[in-house]
Structure 1
Amino acid sequence: MIEEEENIVYRSSITNPQPYVPQALSEIEDQLGSMMLKSPHFKDTTGYFPDTSLESSFFELNSGLDRMREKLGEDVHGKAIELSGRAKALFLQAPDIGSEKTREGNRLLDEIDQLINAVRRHRYESGLKDDDGEVTGD
């Protein structure tokens, strides 16, 4: 009986089996910041989120970009997806946080963040309302 218990993987009660998908432009910016902090391997060191990986992080980012496609516009969406693919390829090759590939991957994530920020600024200055009917840039 004890041998069986040793094989059990304990998961935090705050984890969700479904991947998190950003629901707003500001949440994509949060996702990008989190990714930069976890690059290049995207492992959770706390133990609370054992399923966090490079694959899951980029799935969440790209799903959020797809969800916000209309707000981003086709050009910005396409550029962000392209930058995301390039960043992922660099992180796959990066041996550690200090490598040039990690730095370049983070520069690409920052470029996506700048694209999102420009869209949010335009939406705010134009008085466009978010999903809650407020002018926030989302």
Structure 2
Amino acid sequence: MSTAPARYVPATISELLDHLELMLTMSPTFKDRTGYFPKHSPDYIFGQLYDGLLLSKSDIGDVRYEAIVVLAGEARVLFDADPQDDNGQAHEGRKIILKMEDILNEVFREHEKRRDRKRRD
């Protein structure tokens, strides 16, 4: 009896940033066009994002974590309202993904600065 592999969850800030890039390219339907990942759907992709954010919450910080979760919810609503990418709402959803990237890039830069300071000390 075979079991399905566990769902991939982005576990670092860098992986979360990669996942957001994937979301940009797959939006608004989040369906895999290659056929290799038939389970991909908005629920699946956003589930991966939420699980990854939760894993990295201590690195992200409570305030930023909550902000990203709210933004993700807003983006999801916009993508659901524009599955054909023809009324402008999916475009607005992609803008929100870019805002989430900005927040995570800020976190990433702060971690890099702390790491560099520790190396100098």
TM-score norm. by structure 2 comes to: 0.89
Query: 1:14-93 to 2 correspondence within 5 Å?
Result: 17-93=5-81
Runs of 4+ residues deviating >6 angstroms: none
SS in 1 for 2:28: coil
| 1:50-71 deviation digits (Å, cap 9, x = unpaired) | 0000110000001100100000
2: CA distance, partners of 1:98 / 1:19 = 31
Identity across the alignment (%): 32
The offset of 1:99, in angstroms, is 3.3
The structure with the larger Rg is 1
Structure 2 partner of 1:122: 110
2: CA distance, partners of 1:117 / 1:81 = 16
The offset of 1:24, in angstroms, is 0.7
Structure 1 alignment gaps of length 5 or more: 1-15, 129-134
Q: State the superposition RMSD in angstroms.
A: 1.5
The offset of 1:127, in angstroms, is 1.5
Compare the two structures and name the one with the higher helix fraction.
2
TM-score norm. by structure 1 comes to: 0.78
The offset of 1:98, in angstroms, is 4.3
Structure 2 partner of 1:5: none
2: CA distance, partners of 1:115 / 1:104 = 17
Higher RCO (C-alpha under 8 Å, 6+ residues apart): 2
| 1:48-96 deviation digits (Å, cap 9, x = unpaired) | 0000001100000011001000000000000000000000111111132
Which letter maps to 2:95? R
Which letter maps to 1:44? D
Which letter maps to 1:70? S
